[in-house]
Amino acid sequence: MRAVLQRITKAEVSVDGEVVGRSGPGLMILVCAMQGDDAATAEKVAAKIAKMRIFRDDQDKMNLSVRDIGGSALVVSQFTLAADLRGNRPGFSTACPPDEGKRLYEHFAAALAREGVPNETGIFGADMQVSLVNDGPVTIWLDSASG
């Protein structure tokens, strides 16, 4: 599973001009289920993100998690994180097939909530418009295959 986390003051996702999910302060999480991922992978990534200390403490050090600050998350599926860039046109064959990708995306969001991070989501497979205010900026890329 691949994810891009952005520390945010606020974020929202719209489909056809209607806001379908929002968050803030907390995290914007773009997530992609990869071939070979399963429910355990989604749970492992959710647990890691919930504990990741990327928020400032009272001494201005990145020492607090999204849970510690009472934050929330906006979780948006993004299969393009699976991009294979060997040529000029990216390929996405390493992403899970859509049905499995949707199941794992929803499982990830539910696992994140069980980890104490309330979240809202976009709509899997929809053409979404995402807006956010990146706090810091802090942006972190995570790949479960890397450890």
pLDDT tens column, 67-94: 999 999 999 999 999 998 888 889 899 9
Q: Is residue 135 part of a domain?
A: yes
The one catalytic residue in 55, 79, 108, 121 is: 79
Task: Return the half-sphere exposure (C-beta side, CA atoms, 13 A cut-off) of residue 62.
Answer: 11
139 flagged as catalytic: no
Residue 59, pLDDT score? 97
9 is catalytic: no
Find the CATH number of the domain harbouring 101.
Answer: 3.50.80.10
Domain assignment present for residue 147? The answer is no
> With 80 as the cut, is the pLDDT of residue 147 above it?
no
CA–CA distance, 50 with 67 (Å, rounded to integer)? 6
Q: Interior CA angle at 4 toward 16 and 23, to 5°?
A: 50
Which residues are 30's β-sheet partners?
Answer: 4, 76
Strand partners, 21: 13
The pLDDT value given to residue 86? 85
Domain hosting 110: range is 2-139
Into how many domains does the chain fold? Answer: 1
Q: Please report the pLDDT score of residue 37 as a whole number.
A: 97
| 80 has catalytic annotation | yes
Q: What is the pTM of this model?
A: 0.95
Averaged over 120-126, what is the pLDDT? 96
Task: State the catalytic residue, choosing from 80, 92, 129, 139.
Answer: 80
Read off the pLDDT of residues 12-45 as tens digits, 9 standing for 90 and up. Answer: 999 999 999 999 899 999 999 999 999 999 999 9
Structure-token match 């390929």, residue found: 91
**Given the residues 6, 41, 78, 121, the one annotated as active site:** 78
Mean pLDDT of 99-110: 98
Confidence of residue 55 (pLDDT cuts 50, 70, 90): very high
Instruction: Tell me: pLDDT of 146 over 90.
Output: no
* Inside any domain, residue 145: no
